[in-house]
Amino acid sequence: MEQQIAPLARLAEQFGRLPGIGRKSAQRLAYFTLHMSAEEANAFAEAIVQARTQVRRCAVCCDLTDQELCAVCRSATRDGSILCVVEDPRDVAAIERTHEYRGLYHVLHGVISPLNGIGPEALTVKELLRRFEDDLVSEVIMATNPTVEGEATAIYLARLLKPLGVQVSRLAYGVPVGAELEYADEVTLARALEGRRRI
């Protein structure tokens, strides 16, 4: 009879729409919500609405932000001559965690994928090109994912950018640090050999 408790069924349905959450998990989460205090439930609901309304794209790099410009673009200490082009805001977070990169970013919000009908116009390519209008950027690092589509997007953008006189590079391919050679796939290993560096 559970299905007849409409508010509970509706909430379970909402949870079930989230990625990676099946029917059982969605129900468990819905039941869990019933045990929240009224304040907790309200805070949860408000967090959803606020995230949806307050988070938008940075006017320059298209990363997510709750202000006009993202924290990286606002920063006075970042090197404005280097741009790192990534697919997703989460990739920015991943690169930031290395504490190795001091340049700026550009978030494409996807990759070119003809099979899925995603062309350059669906990405932030126009916004990317606009950033070369004032000649500040001299180097672009393509940090799209090492997948076929990520690779193709990097090559497509490199062709667009090179005529503008900027240096375009690609993240190095190789064996992941801490992994075992034995388990590396052939393509990765071949790329690691190809890109070997003198020590």
The rounded distance, in Å, linking the Cα atoms of 192 and 61 is 31
Query: In the window 71-90, what residues touch a copy of itself (CB under 8 A)?
Result: 71-72, 89-90
The residues pairing with 86 across neighbouring beta strands, listed in sequence order, are: 107
Choice between 50 and 167, CB closer to a copy of itself: 50
Q: Is 7 in the site for a copy of itself (CB under 8 A)?
A: yes
Q: What is the DSSP string of 3-33?
A: GG-HHHHHHHHHHHTSTT--HHHHHHHHHHH
The angle that helices 6-16 and 23-34 make with each other, rounded to 10 degrees, is 130
Residue 98: φ, ψ to 5°: -75, -20
- Shortest Cβ distance from residue 199 to a copy of itself (Å)? 27
Task: Find the shortest distance in angstroms from Cβ 178 to a copy of itself.
Answer: 18
First to last CA, the chain: 69
Question: CA 62, CA 58: separation in Å to the nearest integer?
Answer: 4
Q: Which stretch binds a copy of itself (CB under 8 A): 47-55, 139-147, 167-175, 190-198?
A: 47-55
Answer yes or no: are the C-beta atoms of 144 and 153 closer than 8 Å.
yes
Strand, coil or helix: 56: strand
Shortest reach from residue 53's CB to a copy of itself, in Å: 7
Q: DSSP readout, 145-158? A: -SSHHHHHHHHHHH
Does residue 142 belong to the site contacting a copy of itself (CB under 8 A)?
no
Q: How far is the CB of 159 from a copy of itself (least distance, A)?
A: 29
**Number of residues forming the site for a copy of itself (CB under 8 A):** 53
Q: Is 187 in the site for a copy of itself (CB under 8 A)?
A: no
For a copy of itself, which stretch binds (CB under 8 A), given 28-36, 116-124, 149-157, 190-198? 28-36
Binding site for a copy of itself (CB under 8 A): 1-2, 4-8, 10-11, 13-14, 17-20, 25, 27-34, 36, 38, 41-55, 63-66, 70-72, 89-90, 92-93, 96
